[in-house]
Each structure stands twice: as structure tokens, then as C-alpha cells.
Amino acid sequence: MAESISVSVVGASGYSGAELLKILSRHPHARIDRVFAGASAGKRVDEVHPWFRGGLDLVYESYAPELVDGSDLVFLALPSGEAMAIVPELLERNKRVIDLSGDFRLPDPAVYRKYYRREHAATHLLSQAAYGMPEWNREAIRSSRFVANPGCYPTSAILPLAPLLSEGVVGDSGIIICSMSGVSGAGRGGSVETSFSEVNESVRAYKVGTHQHIPEIARGLELASGRNVSLTFTPHLMPITRGIYTNIYAPIAADVDEERIAAIYRLHYGDEPFVRWSAEAIPEIRNVTHTNYIDIGFRIDRENGGIILLSAIDNLVKGAAGQGVHNMNILFGFDETEGLL
């Protein structure tokens, strides 16, 4: 185990990047080396995010690969499409990389092209990326030097569903996922669509049936449970800053009862530090805000032969930066909860 590591963050001016800086700055074994940004290069971090005033004495730089030579780990908090341009040079320079973008989560470049609407620029590295969901891929992460950190919606959907698929108590088709996300998930930027006056006092679905997280959810479920599933996913934008709430409907065998479900969650998640499940309590976003927890609840709908799974996460923590630091802790042999409780 390293005593302490040096970490750089590329794309550190957005919301996920800033959340990463917040967690890393309190982490006992990490030292933030350099922080990179595009338009904000040259500005102090606490000028762009004044929340950090008094706590973080760093200036955004323009990224260049040689600038991270002194770093043990590089986090990429870039938009999808930008990460794949710099991952190759980082891996060639022997850096460990945790990529928060969607660029390396889908093993098949054709699927990437279909959902991200661009060609993949580093297909030779797709097979090297470990999907960074500790609960289901811990050993692969541990032995990897390149982690593709999961998306926010997939985290909220895979974790509740994977154990039930894995144990064969739910069917693998007819899975319906209805998710609602806070606005920070759309990133930091100025658009009419995410302006306060358009989002406030409203709700709307978007990218219905076409969202890039659809194949990632399917792939993550396959990775975790070994089963191929077909699913329908509808994301919604709602007027909160942080948080994702997810509903999952899945067909269930007639003889499966609440105790069996509870036993399955206990089996799979009993030792997991960041999964809280309950057979009674209904998750609420405010219970997980600013934490790395996922809260999972469920109800069996006997009349219709289905189960309703409910989950809540903080999209910037468990859905991005927190899960990223969890992966960092695994990569470097730190206690998994370090910096995250």
C-alpha cells in the first residue's frame, strides 16, 4: 500500500471535477498534484468554485501530458468524446487512469457509435478498461491500471437489479426503468434548456429510448449477472440540483417473497460499505445527498407478477466522483471507505 499518492484531475472545473477535488482534498492518502481545465485555465479553483476559498490553493492549468509526469493517478472528468483523445498518451506514459466519461464503458465500438453519435478514437484500449463498479468488478479493478467509472444512471439501476438477476429470481426481459435526475447531471454550462426558469416548476422526459446509458446498463448487468437483458429506460430532468431516483420494474417468479429478496441483498451486499438496502424503507434522495451511499428499497407486486425496485444516489458522488475515489482506493490498496464517510 502506498503511503500517499499524487493525483491530477483533467477537467476539474465542472461539477464532477469539483466534487472530486472536494473529496480528494480531504483524503488522508491523496495529494492533489495538478488540476486542468479548458476555458478556466489560468483561474484559481476558488475563483470558479468559491466554495473552496480558504481550503484549496490551486490554479487550473491547460492540460499537456508531460505535466502529469509527477502524478501517480490521473482522473479524467471530461465530457465524453474528449477523454478518449488523451487516454492513450496517459497509458503510454504509464499513468494509472480513472475516466469518469462514457468513452470506455462500452466494449463494442459499434454500440458506442450508435449511442454517442461519433466514432471511437481509441478502440484498441476498450478491452483494457475495467468497468469501475466495485461491488461487481472489484478484482478486475484491483489488477487494472485503467478504470472506466460507471455512469450515474447505470449505477442507480445496476446495483438494485444485478443481485436479483444474478440469483435468477427476476426475468431478463420486460425490464422497465424510469429515472429522474437533478440538473447537475447535465454538467456546468449555459443553455436555455438547463436555465433556472425553464427547469424550475417542471419535469420532462428526454432522450426517450435513445439515451447512451441504455447499453451501459445492459452491459453492466451482463458483467454482474452473466445474463443478457432487454430493457426500456426513460430518464427525466427534474428541478433539484443533485440526485438520481430510479424505479425498476421487473417480472418476478411467483414463489419469490420479500424474505428471499432480502436474503439475496444480504448475500451480495452484506459487506458492501456503500450499499444500504431495506425491505421496509422507501429511498429518498435527501437521505443520500453528499454521500457515497446508494439506498435500495423494493416492493413485490404479486398481482402482476413483478417487483418494483427503488434506488436513490447522489449523482455527483456515488454516480461520479465518490465512486471514482472508491476505485482509487481499490487501485492503490487503501481502505475502501477512506475519504468517503
- 20, 35, 152, 310: the catalytic one is 152
- Is 152 one of the catalytic residues? yes
CB of 239 to a second copy, least distance (A): 6
Phi, psi torsion values for 51, nearest 5 degrees: -55, -30
Residue 93 or 188: which CB sits closer to a second copy? Answer: 188
Q: Which of residues 125-154 bind a second copy (CB under 8 A)?
A: none
Minimum separation from the CB atom of position 303 to a second copy (A) = 7
Q: Does 110 bind a second copy (CB under 8 A)?
A: no
Would you say 206 or 257 has its CB closer to a second copy? 206
Residue 338 CB coordination number (10 Å)? 17
- Output the smallest distance, CB 156 to a second copy, in A: 12
Contact 321, 100 (CB under 8 A): yes
Work out which of 31, 53, 113, 266 binds a second copy, going by CB under 8 A. 53
With CB under 8 A as the contact rule, the residue among 189, 254, 259, 271 that binds a second copy is: 189
SS3 93: coil
**Residue (of 101, 74, 152, 138) closest to 322 by Cα position:** 152
Interaction between residue 30 and a second copy (CB under 8 A) = no
Tell me which residues in 302-321 interact with a second copy (CB under 8 A).
303-304, 306, 308, 310, 312
**Least Å from the CB of residue 280 to a second copy:** 10
Of 257, 245, 326, 238, nearest to 284 by C-alpha is 245
Residue 208 φ then ψ, to 5°: -65, 120
Residue whose CB is less far from a second copy, 74 or 316: 316
Nearer to a second copy, 263 or 281 (CB): 281
18 vs 98, which CB is nearer to a second copy?
A: 18
> Which of 82, 121, 128, 194 forms a contact with a second copy (CB under 8 A)?
194
Residue 301 in contact with a second copy, rule: CB under 8 A: yes
Kindly tell me which residue out of 115, 269, 293, 332 binds a second copy, with binding defined by CB under 8 A. 293
| Rounded Cα gap, residues 332 and 19, in angstroms | 20
Does residue 198 interact with a second copy by CB under 8 A? yes
- 253 near a second copy, judged by CB under 8 A: no
**Are 121 and 218 a contacting pair, CB within 8 Å?**
no
Strands 5-10 and 30-36: parallel
* Position 295 contacts a second copy (CB under 8 A): yes
Complex with a second copy: residue 20 or 98, whichever CB lies closer:
20
| Burial per residue of 26-63, b for 16 or more beta-carbon CB atoms within 10 angstroms, e otherwise | ebebbebbbbbbeebeeebbbebbeebeeebebebbeb
The phi, psi pair for 214, rounded to 5°, reads -60, -55
* 3-class DSSP assignment, residue 73: strand
Which residues ranging from 162 to 181 are in contact with a second copy (CB under 8 A)?
173-174, 176, 178, 180
Number of residues that bind a second copy (CB under 8 A): 73
Contact characters 2-21, a second copy, x per CB under 8 A: -------------x------
CA dist list (Å): 279 to 47, 260, 296, 299: 45, 10, 9, 8
Give the CA angle between residues 125, 129, 135 to the nearest 5°.
170
> Which residues have a catalytic role annotated?
152
